Structure formats: C-alpha cells, structure tokens
A and B are shown apart, each in its own frame.
Chain A
Amino acid sequence: MAEVVVKVENLKKYFPLRRSVVEFLKGAPPRSVKAVDDVSFEIHKGEVFALAGESGCGKTTTGRLIVKLLEPTSGKIYFNGTDITTLSREEEREYRKKVQIIFQDPYGSLNPRFRVYNVLEEPLILQGIGDTRSEREELIIRALESVRMVPPEEFLGRFPHQLSGGQRQRVAIARALILNPEFIVADEPVSMLDLSIRAEILNLMEDVKKRFGLTYLYITHDLSTARYFSDRIAIMYLGKIVELADSDTLVENPLHPYTKALIAAVPEPEPSMKDVIKEIPIKGEVPSAANVPPGCRFHPRCPYRFEPCDKEEPPFIEVEPGHWVACHLYSKR
C-alpha cells in the first residue's frame, strides 16, 4: 500500500445562515449550509486524486479546508500522520510550506500591482527563505524555468496584465512550487484557460509532479480532464462523496446513478451525436445545500429509488477492491 499523504476523516464544514426575524421570534433552530458533510478519503503519495462534481457540491470547500484557508466544523485532516486541525502557530507556518494551492482564476489570484518577481518573492520572504536578494532571485529564476517561462529574466519585471492567461497560470504554478511543497491542491487550474493551452498546463503540472515527487488534489467539474489527469476520482454530490474509484473504472463502469447521469451528459467532440436527443436519466437540478433531502440526498432525482432511500442514509461500501459507492442499490441486506 502506498504511503498516505493526506487523510481526511469525517470532515464537516457548515456555514451558518442568518435567521430571519420571524424565524428568530419563533425560536426556530439556526440553519446552516452543509457545504461539506462527513467526507472521508485518503490521498496516496505521488498520485493525482480528483474531486469532481457540479457547482455547489462542496469540492472547493474541501480543498480550502485541507490548505487551512477555512476551519472545519468537525472532523480531522491528517498530513503525513499529523492532525493539522490543531496546529500551533509555528507548526502551521511549517505546514503552509509543504502544502500549496493553485487557484482557478489566474486573472484574480495574482496581485495586479506586483511584478512577477514580487509575486514569487513574497512566499520566500514570509517563510524566511534566502537571506539575500540574489539568493532569492536564484530561486525565483529556477522556479520560472521549471514552469518553462524562458528566459526567466524576461518575465521578472512584468506585471500580470502583461502576461497571457496561460503564462499567468504558469506563474501561479511557479509560486506554488517555489517553497518545495509535497502536496498541491489545484482548484480548477485550467477551467478559465483556452482549449489550446489547457493541455499545455495539464502536461506541465504532470511534468513537475514527476520531477519534484508531488501529490495533487485536483478539483474540477470537468470529468474529461479528470480522467486524463488523475489516477483516482471521487464524485461529490451535495457535500458528500457518492462514488470513489480509479479513473478508468469510474468512467467505464460507474455504479452510482448520479455518476452514470454525469457521464452520460458529457458531450464528446464527434458528429455522431448530432441532433440525437440524449437520454438523461435524472431530472431537475441540484437542491440547495441549506435544505438537504433526508436519507440519500440524491433520492429526489434518482430513477432507481426504492423504499429505504428517503429514510436511511446509504453507507459507503466497497463494491470491488478500491471502488466505493454510497447507494442502497449496492448494500447487502
């Protein structure tokens, strides 16, 4: 069994909602948005683990919890065996060096008034790496080279608006790499990029992963890039993981009705489906996470629902080695 880098156990994040005056006067219980609701998984060393799902399923919140941009409501997150939900200030600083995040929007994630040099120098200064300016510049140049921004000297003085979208995302990757992290959370790193450079960034991320021995959590709504880029995929629905398997199995042999519907809905660039009305087994849209249905939270949209679905929450069971699903159809009774 491969070494476990990140282990998430029963992770929950509820965002409280403000009560209306009427609710307050009636003494109604406080409500909350259950963005992440009891999620557990392990990420092994050297793998790309994808969290996929539609908007609002809690995939980004999970990623932010792992990099400690948010504090969990309950649950544990272990990094190399240490619980990171209870770190001291000093330990937390150490942790932030080892775990980095790449954000979705390279137009928003770089300070527009920082030159590329400053963008990359900031983490070094904060972590106290490199005593002199020339030492830091050396590290910055190496980071830019590793994301193939060559010659690096040409980019050092540029502002983000002087870079193309792909170059900006490469600077964001260089910023994540410069502290020599072990683990990177990539939150939709290519969804804002044009098709012709999307593959370039994914290939680059793959290459630096091999070179620096990284592990990724890849957060995406796009199953096609998830299959291309990741080793295992977890599908989230309304704050819960409903299915988890290695990428090929998940796409070729999906078990959960929701995963099946997702896969059926993805268009392929081939003219064979032209004018064909696609069979989409599920109806309606994702309900609000403030109002989670009882039992299996997918049951109101599920074409296969039967007796226990609206009462009991389905357990997360291993159907075949490494293939987990949370659905009553597969629970033995």
Chain B
Amino acid sequence: MPLLEVRNLKAYYLTSRGPVKAVDNVSFDLERGESLGLAGESGCGKSTLGFALINLLPPPGKIVDGSIKIDGIEVVGKPDEELRREVRWKKISMIFQGAMNALNPVLTIGDQLSEPLIYHQGVSKEEATERVKEHLELVGLDPDIYKRYPHELSGGMKQRAVIAMALLEHPDVIIADEPTTALDVIVQAQILNLLKSLKKKLNLSIIFISHDLAVISEIADRLAIMYAGEIVEIGPSENLYLNPRHPYTQKLLGAIPRLKKKVERLEFIPGAPPNLIHPPSGCRFHPRCPYRFEPCDKEEPPFIEVEPGHYVRCHLFAKR
C-alpha cells in the first residue's frame, strides 16, 4: 500500500466571483522513501495542492471532494482537533515557501522549534530543548543557534532551521514548497544537498514543489507536471525529462535556458495560463497547444498510461 494515496482531489477557493478550481481532480500515489517533484507555472495549483495535503488551506480555500489517505488514515473530513493530534507534523509536515518569513521574529529559534513538541507531545522543556538541538545538528546547524533570533541568521541558516522544524516530529512525508526559491544559487545547492542526504538517511518521502524544473531534476524520483489545476503528465523523472509526451511538458522543457549547453533560440508558449474560475472547455491546454485537433476543445482528455507508470492527459495519445 502506498504511503500517501490521493484520489480525485478537488480544492477550490470559494470566492464571490465563483469557485476558483485551483486543484481539480488530482490523483497520485507516493511510496515510502520516494520523492515526487510537482512542477508548474505560477497559478497552476501546485502550492494549493501542497496546502490541501496537509489540510491547511487558507480560507476561502476548501477541499470540496476527493480523498487523501496518509499511511491508511483518511484525512479529508477528519475533525481539525484529531488532525492536529494524529496527523499534522507527525505523519506529514511542510517546509513553507519563503522560509525567511516563516519564522516568528520575536522568538528565539529554540523557543519556536520546541513549542510544538511541548504542546503536541507534552514533553518537558528540557527534553524538547535536547531534541531541538539534535535536529539542528541533523540539518547542519550549530546547536548553539538555539539561543539566536531569526534576524541573526543568514537566509540559508533560516532555511535549515525551517527544515529542522518540519522534521521534529518524525513525519513520513514532507512537503517542500519552493524551499530554495529565494536563495542564491550556491546556498540553493547546499540546501538541495541537505535534502538529498536527509531523504536517504531518514527514508523520507518528499513532495518537492517548484516552478524550476532544473532544481526538481536534482531530487525527484518521479515528476508531475501541473497545468491549470490538473496533473497533465506524471511518471519517472528520466522518462519525463528525456522523453516528455505532453505538448505542455515538451514546450516547458524547451523554454529553459541551459548553462552548459548553448541554445540558439529558446522556445516559448504563446499566450498565458487560463483563469481558473472559467477554465477552457475540453483540454485546458488547448488554447495554447500547437498540436490541437478536433476533440481538444470539446472533450476532456483521459489520463492515459503511455508506458508503465507514465501517464499523460492528452488526446494525442488516446486510442480511438
């Protein structure tokens, strides 16, 4: 049984102008020790999906349908009190985007990291301190940072502290939402190295959310590409990077400038991602797709397995 099982998940923002279908009918599995990269452009729903998984959608966001099973526990519809006691941070935790601002500036690192241990697990202050220090060491920080305030740390150190916080209650799944986006490239490489070694050492399952396909390629065993609230392609990383099937994935990879390879002229995708209150009919990518044909603007394409474990949502691959 997979560790995390997501089925037909729908998370909408219920606004006065109508529901924004930020996550629409998303299904996937995640095994223990596996990392899944979740890529897409801004507004494609990847962060919403992350927040939905840990059940922390900011209002007016709401999970309207579907199921999320973590280690066999169904979390959709579970009362918040139980979630807090049994699931959140213990089974699944999150490294927030912009970790710089995820820390409370008026609490020392030690105080804010030990707080959840004291309140969730009822451990004593001394024991909490001990465990926080252990975890600070685990992420490559000096345990003496315990007494420091966030403003005394550099961006990379803060990011490490936030990773330590996510690991405190030994979760099985970690959602990393753009964990390196605001960092300089050298610090980014250091943080990626840290996540790679933690993944191996703790046999962690990671959902790595990013707009940057180059960063994701460093850590993801499998890759899911999101567009307009849907997963349009999912499969083993090797297959997606080297042999992408969906036109959107192909174009997206063609748009990345390479440092070590000279590209004469980059491709781009004309147009802009659609409004998610009224997504396009049929395939949501059809207005920007160079290969669109007759059924694309009418029927929603099915999710088709093109090779073992590699699924694509595109009419080009539908058998008829």
Report Cα–Cα, A55/B261, bound state, in Å: 25
Contacting residues, chain A, for B221 (C-beta < 8 A):
274
- A237-279: contact bitstring with B at CB < 8 Å (1 yes, 0 no)? 0000000000010010000000001111111111101111110
Asked whether any CB of chain A lies closer than 8 Å to the CB of B63, the reply is no
Contact between A270 and B192, CB atoms less than 8 A apart: no
Report Cα–Cα, A203/B214, bound state, in Å: 21
Contacting residues, chain A, for B257 (C-beta < 8 A):
199, 202, 222, 224-225, 227-229
Contact between B189 and A280, CB atoms less than 8 A apart: yes
Contacting residues, chain B, for A293 (C-beta < 8 A):
none
Contacting residues, chain B, for A286 (C-beta < 8 A):
184
Contact between B272 and A164, CB atoms less than 8 A apart: yes
- B193-221: contact bitstring with A at CB < 8 Å (1 yes, 0 no)? 10011011000000000011111011111
Contact between B251 and A224, CB atoms less than 8 A apart: no
- B279-315: contact bitstring with A at CB < 8 Å (1 yes, 0 no)? 0000000000000000000000000000000000000
Most chain B Cβ neighbours within 10 Å, of A55, A198, A263, A285: A285
Contact between B217 and A270, CB atoms less than 8 A apart: yes
**Chain B, Cβ-Cβ closest to A198:** B255
Contacting residues, chain A, for B258 (C-beta < 8 A):
224, 228, 268-269
Contact between B266 and A202, CB atoms less than 8 A apart: yes
Report the stretch among B4-12, B120-128, B234-242 that lies at the interface: B234-242
Contacting residues, chain B, for A165 (C-beta < 8 A):
272
**Chain A, Cβ-Cβ closest to B241:** A271
Contacting residues, chain A, for B76 (C-beta < 8 A):
none
Closest chain B CB from A230 CB (angstroms): 11
Asked whether any CB of chain A lies closer than 8 Å to the CB of B259, the reply is yes
Asked whether any CB of chain B lies closer than 8 Å to the CB of A141, the reply is no
Interface residues on A, range: 35 or more
Contact between A195 and B211, CB atoms less than 8 A apart: yes
Contacting residues, chain A, for B267 (C-beta < 8 A):
199
Other-chain residue from B199, B219, B268 in contact with A203 (beta carbon distance below 8 A) = B268
Contact between B214 and A269, CB atoms less than 8 A apart: yes
Report Cα–Cα, A158/B267, bound state, in Å: 28
**Chain B, Cβ-Cβ closest to A286:** B184
- A38-55: contact bitstring with B at CB < 8 Å (1 yes, 0 no)? 000000000000000011
Contact between A199 and B241, CB atoms less than 8 A apart: no
Contacting residues, chain A, for B237 (C-beta < 8 A):
271, 274
**Chain A, Cβ-Cβ closest to B248:** A196
Contact between B186 and A265, CB atoms less than 8 A apart: yes
- A274-298: contact bitstring with B at CB < 8 Å (1 yes, 0 no)? 1111101010011000000000000
Report Cα–Cα, A225/B268, bound state, in Å: 14
Contacting residues, chain A, for B154 (C-beta < 8 A):
285
Q: A196-B41, A269-B256, A277-B197 are in contact. Are A261 and B217 (CB under 8 A)?
A: no
Report Cα–Cα, A54/B267, bound state, in Å: 27
Contact between A221 and B184, CB atoms less than 8 A apart: yes
Asked whether any CB of chain A lies closer than 8 Å to the CB of B83, the reply is no
Closest chain A CB from B78 CB (angstroms): 34
Contacting residues, chain A, for B218 (C-beta < 8 A):
267, 273-276, 278
Report Cα–Cα, A280/B190, bound state, in Å: 8
Contact between A285 and B187, CB atoms less than 8 A apart: yes
Asked whether any CB of chain A lies closer than 8 Å to the CB of B265, the reply is yes
Contact between A267 and B215, CB atoms less than 8 A apart: yes
Contact between B220 and A277, CB atoms less than 8 A apart: no
- 17 A-B pairs within 8 Å (CB atoms) are namely A166-B272, A195-B255, A195-B256, A196-B268, A200-B269, A221-B184, A222-B257, A225-B257, A227-B257, A265-B185, A265-B186, A267-B192, A271-B217, A271-B238, A273-B218, A277-B196, A280-B189
Which 6 pairs of residues, A with B, have the shortest CB-CB distance? Answer: A199-B266, A200-B268, A265-B189, A196-B269, A54-B184, A199-B268
Interface residues of A (CB under 8 A from B): 54-55, 164-167, 194-200, 202-203, 221-225, 227-229, 248, 251, 261-271, 273-278, 280, 282, 285-286
Interface residues of B (CB under 8 A from A): 41-42, 154-156, 184-190, 192-193, 196-197, 199-200, 211-215, 217-221, 237-238, 241-242, 251-253, 255-263, 265-270, 272-273
Instruction: Give 20 new A-B contacts, CB below 8 A, not counting A199-B255, A275-B219, A277-B196.
Output: A55-B184, A194-B41, A195-B252, A195-B256, A196-B252, A200-B268, A222-B257, A223-B185, A223-B259, A227-B257, A228-B258, A228-B266, A229-B257, A266-B214, A267-B192, A276-B196, A277-B197, A280-B186, A280-B193, A282-B186
